[in-house]
Amino acid sequence: MQKRVQVSLTALLALVMMLALAQQPLEAQSDRRATQFTLSNGMQVVVVPDHRAPVVTHMVWYRVGAADEPPGVSGIAHFLEHLMFKSTEKIASGEFSRIVSRLGGQDNAFTSQDATAYFQRISKDRLGQLMLMEADRMVNLRLTEAEVLTERDVILEERRSRVENNPQAVLDEQMNAVLYYSHTYGIPVIGWEHEIARLSREDALGFYKRHYAPNNAILVVSGDVTPEEVKRLAEDSYGRLPANGEIRPRTRPMDPEQRAARRVEIKDPRAGKPSVQRYYVTPSYVTAEPGEAEALDLLMKIAGSGATSRLYQKLVSDEKIASSAGGWYGGSSMDFGKIAVYAIPADGVSLATVESAIDAVLADIVKNGVTEAELDRAKKAYLAEYIYESDNQSTLARRYGWALVAGRTVEDIEAWPERISKVKLEDVKKAAARYLDARRSVTGTLLPVAPDGVVHETGASAPLRRS
């Protein structure tokens, strides 16, 4: 009983703090929290102190992801991420995670289009040992032919389970491939199956030696540490590694202006229900004009986020033609951002009907904009999210790492609440008019196929025969 009371009091205190902060100007939330410095070998370091518990989150972000892969070896960035848990001269194959576990910590890694990151959560007194281990595998990875072939089979199975056996994932992959003309964001992070099957030890080691170096990495440490402590430990571990003189700024093929709306259709007997979704190419926070990405964020908060959004209210609550509807803006990438909208028809309703309803909602925003009340509510919702996320040291580490690896600065990150507060109604309307343009989009539909080969679009007046 005492524990339940404590949880309730904690939740109440958090709510009171959130309400109090929501009444203050957003500018007050952008106080400097992180400290940054650069080691002599070029490694960037960011420290975000949080002294409430004697634990730390340690993340190493490499400025390389799937979008930086050479032609013909798609998936090599993700493949190398797996192989980084093999051996060095000091650590036996597979022992890295087991050592972290014995030290009382947790670890993992991930790959995106723009970054590869390795992270651990551990007690602060183990941080120095952890840094030595991570620095070791940054430059001393050893790979045997057997390890590479075994892990390649693991990746192929991962692709089959996550993509090939998931019709929605297949649709998403195909839509992205069509959304970009030449940019490598059109290639899936996990890679194309036929190219994964040919990845070799030489491919992995070549990619490793080309991109894994202290001057191509960002260290983010959040938790119960001071900048001085982290600097001393970082210099004793990462600071001893030589810089790679071959590291160069990233360059990628950039797309021309989008000129034609495109469509993708997937028919699959494993699809439970039909669905429609659309992606629009937009700028990211890195490439947008000042204030534009913030306007896009608020636009899609109003248009597609949750049960109060325009799409949900119109399609689900009012017209009852969809069982689900929404959308979002993703602006954290390096080169391009994306707006996405989606809907799942209610029983008895065709895909064409819900797609027309989506078009009507977006067209109304383009023509008439949003209301002051909607904009104010969206700003407060984002502020609340920002406050809650700031209460988690792992989330803090990711917040800084994601932005920095894409090319933003600590100042950009910490001034975000202030910039959100400055977005005006006309900014949102202008962003909607510019980027909710069908010529910048790909629309995808997913249709269930019955065993008899008939496409059953729930509620359609007549089934469509598969061509």
Chain segment 206-265, per-residue pLDDT in tens: 999 999 999 999 999 999 999 999 999 999 999 999 999 999 999 999 999 999 999 999
* Active-site hit among 81, 134, 151, 414: 81
Instruction: Please state, in angstroms and rounded to a whole number, the distance separating the CA atoms of residues 78 and 116.
Output: 8
Task: Give the pLDDT confidence score for residue 457 in this predicted structure.
Answer: 54
175-217 pLDDT, tens per residue?
999 999 999 999 999 999 999 999 999 999 999 999 999 999 9
Task: Give the pLDDT confidence score for residue 1 in this predicted structure.
Answer: 33
- With 0-12 / 13-18 / 19 or more C-beta atoms within 10 angstroms meaning exposed / middle / buried, residue 167 is buried
Of 338, 328, 402, 297, nearest in space to 186 by CA: 338
Q: What are phi and psi of 246, to 5 degrees?
A: -90, -5
Task: Give the pLDDT confidence score for residue 11 in this predicted structure.
Answer: 40
Task: Give the pLDDT confidence score for residue 455 in this predicted structure.
Answer: 56
Task: Give the pLDDT confidence score for residue 467 in this predicted structure.
Answer: 27
- With 0-12 / 13-18 / 19 or more C-beta atoms within 10 angstroms meaning exposed / middle / buried, residue 187 is buried
Task: Give the pLDDT confidence score for residue 226 in this predicted structure.
Answer: 97
Domain with residues 35-240, CATH architecture: 2-Layer Sandwich (3.30)
Active site residue 355: no
Is the pLDDT assigned to residue 30 strictly greater than 90? no
Task: Give the pLDDT confidence score for residue 464 in this predicted structure.
Answer: 27
pTM comes to 0.89
Axis crossing angle, helix 372-389 with helix 292-304, rounded to the nearest 10: 100
Q: Are 428 and 258 in contact (CB under 8 A)?
A: no
Is the pLDDT assigned to residue 351 strictly greater than 70? yes
Q: Are 68 and 422 in contact (CB under 8 A)?
A: no
Q: What are phi and psi of 268, to 5 degrees?
A: -150, 130
CATH placement of domain 262-465: 3.30.830.10
Task: Give the pLDDT confidence score for residue 29 in this predicted structure.
Answer: 39
For the residues of 208-234, what is the DSSP string, one character each? HHHH-SGGGEEEEEEES--HHHHHHHH
Of 250, 374, 240, 244, nearest in space to 304 by CA: 374
Each domain of the chain, given as residue ranges in start order, spans 35-240, 262-465
Mean pLDDT, rounded, of the chain: 91
317-346 pLDDT, tens per residue?
999 999 999 999 999 999 999 999 999 999
